[in-house]
A and B are shown apart, each in its own frame.
Chain A
Amino acid sequence: MRVRFFASYAEAFGREEMSLELRAGASVADCVAALQADPAALRLPPSPLVAVNQRYARPETPLAEGDEVALIPPVAGG
């Protein structure tokens, strides 16, 4: 599945997206755990905000093939 990064997280990871292979039935928490294996993840908070298919998700939200996951840094719009 496709994981997108933005703003300070894109800078931390040095890229705006990556592909991740997760086992069937994986959750958002599993996805975050897989990302935290990357050294760039030291600059992430322990529980970053995550969106799945453009909607805020929870750690237990299940993921499916073809989902778009995004790590959302603290927002500052308006």
Chain B
Amino acid sequence: MLRKSWTGLLAGAAFAFASLPAIASAEELTIFWAEWDPANYLQELANIYTAETGVTVTVQTTPWSDFQTKTFAELNAKGDAYDMVVGDSQWLGAGSTGGHYVDLTPFFEKNKLNEIFVPATVKYYAEYGGKLWAVPVEGDANGWSYRKDWFEDPKEMADFKAKYGYDLGVPKDYKQLRDIAEFFYRPDQNRYGLALYTQTSYDALAMGVEQTIFTYGGDLGDYATGQVDGIINSPQNVEALELYRELYTFTPPNWGQAFFLENNQAFTEGLVAMSMNYFAFFPALANKATNPYADVTGYFANPPGPTGKQHAALGGQGLSIVTYSKKQDEAFKFLEWFSREDVQKKWADLGGYTNHAAVLSSEEFRKATPYNEAFYQSMQIVKDFWAVPSFADLLFQMNDRIHPYVTAGQGTAKEALDGLAADWNATLKK
């Protein structure tokens, strides 16, 4: 039958392609991460490991917008394309209950990693359901960059003082942040107040909004019980969301789908006075080749809200071993090497944000870059999104409810959050 020869041909082709990767060296580890600077730094660090041990470590990347899909498409198919994944903190629920991550609790105990890494990072990047699933790799929090030259311009300072009655400077609270954004919002001069996160293809908008909510003393819900009604739509959350909407009116045009690339670019094009971004994206701003204003760029941690509470949205990830990897022993060896203090120092030196307590708090680290001090402060005040297995549903529901209000002023903050409470209730009840 011809059918048979077709199947034969297909099987032959399948065999030929399946055997292609096998030709490569057996001593090869693959790490999956999103496309951003830290992944390149990790590749550089891994190259040192390769030089030391002969084991090739490749860091594969994909854009943030489909990082989640790509990872779980592979994990859910029980695929072994990746030996390790630098998974987002919100995935811990799905990764652990789905059986995709290897339980690292014994590994933590054996190497006393609990004592080595900053406790908050272990809690957020590693822990779910009482067990530990990842080694903290990249600490990160949402912070701000600002134009020092605009802030320190005598004429601007005088005008600002005349208008608002206090000195122009790094904002001490959200009210000042708002005032400064309003002050610099001058579309006729092609200058704008600030750049915010608004993108809805993954978690950008949610991170920007949750940070404001936390700072206003609100919460997304009770993570332990799953209670959301009265918490996500509380009066302080409504107030926080209204402020986020107001801040949005001070952004450059077309700011309704902005994430790190857009926010950095707003800054390097000289469009904005302040720009929200994760610290991991600040190297590009400190680099003169990519930011003409590098010398006059300052950085600050997210300011406190009206009640004095101060929080920053958690970014960053931990490194997990994939259950389906056939090279788990090699992966453990790499993790062990990675957790060493000298390697962590090297990691910080290359540009990674270490979570190693000793390295992070050292004077050397805090002075190493213009933004490390703000980073160090931010890591003390981080808070995170839901990490339950259905976090993605919660995330997209939040995007759908909040984005039309923030970017187009459709409906009210109260309506958006009430609607969100109903959506979340339905999802969390399952």
B is bound to A: no
